[in-house]
Structure 1
Amino acid sequence: MHQHDKSILTKSNVQSDVVVVNQCDTDSVEEFDFVNKYGQTKHCIFVSTTQRGLSRSRNMAVSYAPEDSICKICDDDETFADDIETKVLCAYERHPDASLIAFSMNRPDKKYGKVYPKADMHLSFSRILKTTSVEITFKKRHISDFAITFDEKMGSGTGNGGGEENKFMLDIRRAGGKLYFAPENIGTVNPAPSQWFTGYNSDMIRNYGWAAHRSMGFILGLIYSHYWVISHRHLYGNSLSMYGAYKNILGGFFEKR
């Protein structure tokens, strides 16, 4: 948000073609070439917009990407690996049928530490729910064919919490797309305060119930909501009882927004 120059390209260590969506107070589109650290000429589409919302920005970025591109989601708290392009392209060569491939990321903040699988694998339903937007890449052509976008009622800036990337992946899965995990590390997530997560409180759990219904449907979403309350008691137990958690997650589940 409110970028005043193009330094985000250097800060994020961008070495490939890129679309930047800058939420600010003006509307414009600027295109230019730049030379990466390997001496290769790459192209940037720099979109400034007065629109707000994380999912809306992601959809806007995807709309500007070439139809035959492989897209990598990135926020301004990430730094790409130098060889990200090679790693991503090699993974898609191994899985030519893939619509989406998730990768591993460095996370210096130990609070968000994550253990990744050591080998390629299909993304199961449970692993999809544990995958975050910083880890995913996808083929734009497949997303276009499936007519799938990021849900603009979900994500930072909506007041409805997160989970937009999980719904995006589940939508691809329901459409028949193939989702994989590849163990290569493609970047670092730098510690930064969340724009929407303030702890496992009643508002967060209510949003979680709403997101479960929207992402998974009635039956599966209801089952998962019950499972979440039981299995995540260690996360919310300091602020809510199990009854309180049930009350909030089911309140959100049945809420119309």
Structure 2
Amino acid sequence: MRFSLVLATKHRVKELQCFLESLAAQTCTDFELILVDQNADDRLAELIKFYSQKFPILHIKQPEPGLSRARNQGLKHVKGELFGFPDDDCIYPADFLAKVSEFFHSDSAWGGLVINVLDLDSDKEAMLYLPESPGVVDYDKGWIVGMTAALFYRGDFALSVQFDENMGPGTPWGGAEDVDYLYSCLDAGAKTYYDPQIIIRHPTPSKFYSIPQSIQREYNHARGAGFLMRKCKLPLSKVFWRITSPLIYTIQFIFQGRSREAACFPGVSLGRLLGYLGSWKISEQ
């Protein structure tokens, strides 16, 4: 089954080269890369020239800010039976696309697949939260496992579902555009499954950012999550739980000796609260 991989990138060169090298090593070679380049300069020219000899690359210049806007531009060019959204700093194991293809080939009832994201150098979850069990993805499970680089869908949904360009990096609501996109696919009829045994590799943010940078990053993402809670009109009981639950992780991670990660969770709660209240004010205007 042919893949269209929509990758939006800005600033990164070395990390992108590592990802492109992992693509060149795939056992499944039936794919194209739709590379949406948000750099104002031509820093990627040599990389694109080199790897275009190994697999098809459609290079789209999109200097305007906004990750969701860039991905929507890429979606317009999807031609494959399956599509996904790799990050420019992730790595695909050599058999990754083959496993995703086999999943969709084995049962035509599934419209979407969410895979697992592990650290580059260990078999630990790359993001802050704990592992989830496999199973059908509903709105509650999607809240936890929804990460753009982990999402794969059948090609038909590229025409019917877009990212909310008011959300994500480059906007005041700096995250949760991935969960919002997953929700939109569920709304469009994409029966979706989460398989934690199919993995990609991704840098664990807390390893590469300082503590203040990590706190700011998680706070920005959480503002988007607060915006999404308001957008989805969640009942107040769920809003309260999703705002306060990160504080439980703070205590849990402290007892596990993971104080660096624990420092991020109060900012997550604050970001969700302010994102929810801020989006509420906007909706009332």
TM over 0.5: yes
Residue type of the alignment partner of 2:93: A
1:129 aligns with 2:143: yes
- Return the alpha-carbon distance in structure 2 between the equivalents of residues 57 and 73 of structure 1: 11
Deviation at 1:245? 8.1
- Are the aligned partners of 1:210 and 1:255 in contact in 2 as well (CA < 8 Å)? no
Deviation at 1:124? 2.2
- Could you tell me which of 168, 173, 194 is aligned with 1:181? 194
- Return the alpha-carbon distance in structure 2 between the equivalents of residues 70 and 98 of structure 1: 12
2:16 maps to 8
- Could you tell me which of 74, 86, 109 is aligned with 1:61? 74
Identical amino acids, percent of aligned pairs: 16
- Structure ranking higher in helix proportion: 2
TM-score by length of 1: 0.76
- Structure ranking higher in strand proportion: 1
2:63 maps to 50
1:255 aligns with 2:281: yes
- Return the alpha-carbon distance in structure 2 between the equivalents of residues 246 and 60 of structure 1: 28
1:198 maps to 216
1:227 maps to 241
Runs of 4+ in 1 over 6 A off after TM superposition: 29-32, 194-197, 236-241, 243-247
> Are the structure 2 counterparts of residues 252 and 222 from structure 1 closer, same or farther at C-alpha, using a change threshold of 3 Å?
farther
Superposition pairs for residues 1-257 of structure 1, below 5 Å? 1-2=10-11, 8-12=16-20, 13-15=22-24, 16-25=31-40, 33-35=52-54, 42-66=55-79, 68-107=80-119, 108=122, 112=127, 114-117=130-133, 119=134, 121-131=135-145, 132-144=147-159, 147-192=160-205, 198=216, 206-214=223-231, 216=232, 218=233, 220=234, 222-234=236-248, 248=274, 250-256=276-282
Deviation at 1:94? 2.4
TM-score by length of 2: 0.70
How many residues align? The count is: 240
- Provide structure 1 residue ranges, at least 5 long, that are not aligned to the other structure: 36-41
> Are the structure 2 counterparts of residues 4 and 49 from structure 1 closer, same or farther at C-alpha, using a change threshold of 3 Å?
farther
Deviation at 1:253? 4.3
